[in-house]
Amino acid sequence: MKIAKNMLWAVALGLSLAGVQAGEWGNWRGPNHNGSTDEKDLPVKFSKTQGVIWSAPMPGPSAATPIVFGDHVFVSSSNPEEQQLMASCHDRKTGALKWKHVVAHGHNKDNRSNYAAPSPVTDGQLVSFYYGNGALATYTTDGKKMWAKNIEKEHGEFAYQWTPSSSPLLHNGTLYLQVLQRNSRVHGRGRDNGKSYILGLDPKTGGQLWKVYRPARAKAESLEAYSTPVPFTHGGREEILITGGDCITGHDPGSGAELWRWGTWNPTRIGHWRLVPSPVAGAGVVLACAPKRAPVYALKAGAKGDVSSSGMLWHSEGSRDGVSSDVCTPLFYQDDFFVLYGEGRDKMLTRIEPKTGKAKWAIDLKSRPLFRGSPTGADGKLYVMNHAGTVHVIDAKSGKILHRAEMGEAGDDQTRASVAVAHGSLFIRTNSRLYCIGKS
């Protein structure tokens, strides 16, 4: 009887925690790690004055998506005037600043991004902030510092053409980081014969649990990836998906060991195909996006070993059919993939069947500014923001554009954060402000 009661209690606790997680946005791509959430009753029409529950000033620009858990909203920012990289927490209900810390000094190393591009990550107890100069710090959700370190100082100077922007992943008691970099110096940084690697850290102490090198046959800049690790479970097997270096791999969450790999989308080994989009999975399909108007590739989930010659289900035609993504990570929502190509003249968003690659609809978002944020799916709608800070609201079923909300300021450019959804609200981070938008 006692065992039965304990089992019932454990099941009830598990269901309770699952319910809490479902309403949160604890990592860059939300509770399902695919850009979607089950949140309902979300606003369609809003502006900087309509539907605003609160807004808060930001110290500087960042591509990081706001992270929401419980009554906390965690934000990573740069402060270009003070040359500081900031970690802060706002009250979810009021927007009041709960705490802030200067994690490191610096701002950027190129004019296309800054060191505050990676999104923070939380499990509701700890929150970790990571930056493109290697700074990594973890706090309790109340702002108490647990530990801090610099990944570059421990593992060697990064070798990237642009600013590293991969976000950390906190999943089932392990903090994951990927550093997929070139194997030679670039602009005087890095080192010859350098290696790409994946780290597993103890989130409570920062101690290294394991380090796995990830080889690839790519050349020069094509070895570099700005993607983020994604957890995925299929057929009872859990794995961590990694894209970059002209290939996609699945890894054991406990050891980092490689389970399978597929590649390549770059058979001629072009040397300037750096990779930005993260992988996304759903309906038994794993999606990987090749860069530079190249196709999107769909792979069969559950692979083992090298499946380069047998693992592909289908691929798009890239520049021929408009189904491509150079920067934006696709969304999996309502049993379909949504792929956004945010470059060039025609910014195309396409809804695709996972098993066949057939397009259900495709629309031109008719935006002059680029899209570098990734689409979010919730309440039958899609939310995505362009470089100018204009949020586009799209009906997921039909592809009809329902609303455009100009949330940026005059002259804004390179607004890159994705829209987070939690507790019945939208959390929109522009270059200068953080907005909480809702119906009430």
pLDDT value of residue 21: 60
The secondary structure of 385-423 as a DSSP string is E-TTSEEEEEETTT--EEEEEE-SPTT-----PPPEEET
Share of the chain above pLDDT 90, in %: 91
User: How open is the CA angle 397-400-404, to the nearest 5 degrees?
Assistant: 125
Tell me the three state secondary structure of residue 176: strand
Q: How far apart are CA 417 and CA 415, in angstroms?
A: 6
- At 18-53, the pLDDT tens digits run 434 668 999 999 999 999 999 999 999 999 999 999
pLDDT of residue 4 exceeding 90: no
Mean pLDDT of the region 214-236: 97
Domain range list for the chain? 24-437
- Greatest CA separation for the chain: 68
Task: Please give the structure tokens belonging to residue 266.
Answer: 């770059």
- CA proximity to 80, closest of 112, 44, 105: 105
pLDDT of residue 63 exceeding 70: yes
Q: How far apart are CA 403 and CA 262, in angstroms?
A: 39
Give CA 135 to chain center in angstroms.
18
The answer to whether residues 208 and 239 touch, using CB atoms and an 8 Å cutoff, is no
Q: How far apart are CA 162 and CA 224, in angstroms?
A: 9
pLDDT of residue 11 exceeding 50: no
Q: How confident is the model at residue 7 (pLDDT cuts 50, 70, 90)?
A: very low
pLDDT of residue 5 exceeding 50: no
Q: Which residues contact 203 (CB under 8 A, 6 or more apart)?
A: 123, 126, 128, 138, 170, 173, 174, 175
**153: enclosing H helix or E strand:** helix 151-155
The answer to whether residues 366 and 410 touch, using CB atoms and an 8 Å cutoff, is no
CATH topology of domain 24-437: Methylamine Dehydrogenase; Chain H (2.130.10)
pLDDT of residue 154 exceeding 80: yes
User: How open is the CA angle 149-154-160, to the nearest 5 degrees?
Assistant: 100
pLDDT value of residue 17: 39
pLDDT of residue 316 exceeding 70: yes
Judging by DSSP bridges, how do beta strands 258-262 and 305-306 pair with one another?
parallel
Q: What is the 3-state composition of the chain as percent helix, strand, coil, each rounded to the nearest 5?
A: 5, 40, 55
Average pLDDT over the chain, rounded to an integer? 94
